């Protein structure tokens, strides 16, 4: 989880490979209307995100397709969004904590993505950083090399008590 450009997709792909689990990129689940809206530089609001979060929650909760689990890249910017995902399945989050300078640099290098740099501020405005009360969230610096972040996440989550459905 994290703002656009924090590295969610790259981290998620690497984490899924390390765990030998399927990977789902939440960006691929946005409706055409949401993609058009973001492409025009208009930030999504809670209503826009509602059906998108429902689709992601359905993926997380689909134990027939993802019987061993699934890694999902999703911004989950607000506590309410994370709670929606928690209601679907036992989940763990990795928050890739990025600053605006890093995100601006990364988004400047993107050419095939619908999220324009102009929406960076709206991402940070919407972000509700996880608190210590969210015990299922590991915070890692977004600038951390992916292989080190994956190793840190695997070590952190393997050391804790398994989640129960």
For 26-37, give the DSSP string.
GGGGS-HHHHHH
End-to-end CA distance of the chain: 21
Residue 162 pLDDT > 80: no
**Cβ atoms of residues 50 and 71 within 8 Å:** no
* Residue 165 banded pLDDT, cuts 50, 70, 90: very low
pLDDT attached to residue 80: 97
The alpha carbon dihedral of 101, 1, 34, 17 has a sign of positive
pLDDT attached to residue 4: 86
Round to whole Å and give the CA distance between 69 and 87.
16
pTM value?
0.87
The stretch 134-156 carries a mean pLDDT of: 96
* Residue 122 banded pLDDT, cuts 50, 70, 90: confident
Q: What is the pLDDT of residues 90-112, one digit of tens each?
A: 999 999 999 988 988 887 765 66
Provide the mean pLDDT of the chain. Answer: 89
């Amino acid at each position: 989880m994290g703002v656009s450009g924090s590295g969610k997709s790259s981290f998620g792909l690497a984490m899924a490979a390390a765990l030998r689990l399927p990977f789902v990129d939440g960006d691929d689940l946005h409706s055409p209307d949401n993609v058009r809206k973001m492409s025009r530089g208009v930030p999504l609001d809670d209503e826009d995100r509602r059906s998108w979060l429902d689709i992601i929650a359905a993926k997380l909760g689909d134990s027939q397709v993802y019987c061993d689990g699934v890694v999902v890249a999703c911004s989950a910017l607000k506590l309410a969004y994370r709670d929606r995902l928690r209601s679907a399945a036992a989940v763990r989050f990795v928050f890739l904590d990025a600053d605006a300078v890093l995100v601006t640099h990364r988004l400047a290098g993107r050419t095939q993505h619908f999220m324009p740099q102009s929406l960076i501020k709206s991402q940070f405005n919407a972000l509700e950083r996880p608190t210590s009360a969210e015990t299922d969230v590991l915070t890692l610096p977004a600038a951390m090399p992916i292989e080190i972040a994956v190793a840190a996440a695997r070590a952190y989550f393997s050391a804790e008590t398994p989640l129960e459905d």
